[in-house]
Amino acid sequence: MGAKDATASGTATGKFIGMLIVAAAMLGLIFFLKMVGFDLTPVENVHLDKVVVVEGYANAFCDAYKGKSGELNKQCGDLTKKNCLSADCCVYAKMNGDEKCFAGNEHGPTFRFNEDGKTNDIDYYFYKNKCHGKSCK
């Protein structure tokens, strides 16, 4: 073996020992970080949308006016169509040409009579997004 072969062999061994030292240092660092409680898991992009429980609102709304049907009818009349259709105690109806939210249930608006005691004409009504009546769209 010549001097040149011994130098090449020593250089390869030196590089191998260097790689082992670097690998051991990296593993030692990872072990140390785990021991001190540093979390190495990648951060996930967690995006939480605002969650609104409409049913809870609708039930609370209806419960607030339980036994006060006249007041409930007034409050239902102030709701948007979307909110009206989500409430258990309101219907969106077309009655005597007036299309709005009224107090009611699956059987239709609660107040169907006018001041003269005559039944108002109900073209259609929506309860829970289901249309009822002769003029359903």
For the chain, 137 residues long, give each residue's pLDDT as a single digit of tens. 455 555 556 688 888 898 999 999 999 988 888 888 887 677 776 766 665 555 555 578 888 888 888 899 899 999 999 989 888 899 999 888 889 999 999 988 988 777 777 777 888 999 988 998 887 76
The candidate with the shortest Cα–Cα distance to 133, out of 118, 116, 115, 102, is 102
The candidate with the shortest Cα–Cα distance to 100, out of 115, 83, 113, 117, is 83
What global pTM score does this model have?
Answer: 0.54
Domain positions in the chain: 1-43, 54-132
Distance CA 64, CA 46 (A): 37
